Structure 1
Amino acid sequence: MHELAVTESILEIALRHAHQQKARRILDLFLVIGEWSSIIDDSVQFYWDMISEQTIAQGARLHFRRVPTELQCRQCNYTYHPDSRHLLCPQCHSKHITVLHGEEFYLEAIEIEPEQEAMHNSS
């Protein structure tokens, strides 16, 4: 259920950005989610649809890009993508690893519809 709090943060960031850019509407949001993060796309979408109602973000499309997990051995510096059962370094079998990618979650980009320029009437 932590997706609700995460989704509220995304909405807050998107609305702040849209306001700064004087947007009429928010059209698309591009999210990056690490394979090892505990974020569930469908839950984020569900909460987004619920909390964005009656805002300029209502109807905005969420695009999810999953980032595969990448580890680096601190013993031999080998970089690898682990399978779910073997986290040890496949090169030297060390258990001393650093997660390079796979735990991230962030808003990469927002697409907005700008306000229409005020039409100037000439007399």
Structure 2
Amino acid sequence: MHELSITQSILDISLQAAQQQHARRIKIIRLQLGQFCGVVPECVQMYLDVLAKGTIAEGAKIEVIEVPLRVRCLDCGRESDIDRRHIECPFCKSIRLKRLSGREFLVDSLEVDT
């Protein structure tokens, strides 16, 4: 359910940026989402469809740029991308990891009509 308030923020940011560029319509909102940010893109799209009615973002589509979960192993010092099924260093199998990326959540860019 937290996607509702998140989507409202995305819409507010997008409308403000589009207004600064004198856009007539927002067609695409591109988001950078880390694999572990906890946001479900399909829910964001569903809420955007409702929240954007009557605005220049009505009908806008969400596109996601996925940011991988990148870690540094605290035992062997190597960096790698991992996923939810293999939360360990692929080199030494340690689970002592420092997260370098994967929790990002930001509006990356907009595609608009001017």
- Please report the TM-score for the alignment, with normalisation by the length of structure 1: 0.82
1:66 is aligned to 2:98: no
Match of 2:4 in 1: 4
Give the C-alpha shift of residue 93 in structure 1.
4.4
The superposition leaves residues 45-68 of structure 1 with CA deviations (integer Å, 9 ceiling, x where unpaired) of 100000000001001121112222
Pairwise CA distance, 1:92? 4.1
Q: Following the alignment from structure 1 to structure 2, what is the Cα–Cα distance between the partners of residues 52 and 26?
A: 10
Secondary structure at 2:24 match in 1: strand
Partner AA of 1:50 in structure 2: V
- Equivalences for residues 48-67 of structure 1 within 5 A: 48-67=48-67
Please list every run of at least 4 consecutive aligned residues from structure 1 whose deviation after the TM superposition is greater than 4 angstroms.
none
Instruction: Deviation per CA, 1:58-116: give whole Å up to 9, x if none.
Output: 011211122221111133321122243443334344443211121111111011111xx
Question: Within 5 Å, which residues of 2 pair with 1:16-35?
Answer: 16-35=16-35
Residue identity in the other structure for 1:106: L
User: Residues 28-47 of structure 1 correspond to what in structure 2 (within 5 A)?
Assistant: 28-47=28-47
Distance 2:63 2:90 in 1: 33
- Distance, in Å, in 2 between the alignment partners of 1:13 and 1:83 is 30
Q: Please state how far the C-alpha of 1:31 moved relative to its aligned partner.
A: 0.9
Q: Structure 2, unaligned stretches of length 5 or more?
A: none
* Residue 97 of structure 2 is aligned to residue 97 of structure 1: yes
Structure 1 pair 84–22 and aligned structure 2 pair: CA distance change class (3 A)? closer
Q: Quote the sequence identity (%).
A: 39
Corresponding pairs, count: 114
Q: CA RMSD in A?
A: 1.6
- Consecutive unaligned residues of structure 1, counting only runs of 5 or more, are 115-123
Q: Output the CA distance in 2 between the equivalents of 1:32 and 1:91.
A: 28
